[in-house]
Amino acid sequence: MQQDIKMEVEREKRRVIAIVEDDARLATMFTDVLAVSGQWQLHLFSDGESARDQLPDLGAHLVILDVGLPNLDGASLYKILRGHNKTRTIPIIVVTGSYDWELQRMGIYAGFVLQKPFSNADLLNMIHALIPERNS
């Protein structure tokens, strides 16, 4: 019982990363790479609508957002998240195969873009820069 409580407290301390990705292979890669360290709680959304509906109350510290999503595209979701009072300050890493000028044409002026193809090291370095480890 004591061990269960300790594990729950440790889980509560972990930072929350929301992954919005419809490609099952990429979603699996993200969760596999990020779960290894055990330092983050991961929440996966496979479409833009469910992310739009749930992200404001999730308390995420970071969002990894694919641009090409079903139901609600990533560009629209990006704008919605930037306009919502609960999500406007959350760092968003935009994952795309598009060029910067294409993103700007879509209305995405993201400071954090992970260009496909990317390495796991690039992903982890960007995450560590945006949500550094907490000192206990």
* pLDDT-derived band at 8, boundaries 50, 70, 90: very low
Look up the CATH superfamily of 2-130.
Response regulator (3.40.50.2300)
Answer whether residue 10 shows pLDDT above 90. no
For 88-136, how does the pLDDT look when each residue is reduced to its tens digit (9 = 90+)?
999 999 998 766 767 677 767 767 888 889 999 999 999 999 997 765 4
pLDDT digits (tens, 9 = 90+) for 58-86: 999 999 999 889 999 998 999 999 999 99
| pTM of the model as a whole | 0.85
Using CA atoms, how far apart are residues 126 and 129, in angstroms rounded to an integer? 5
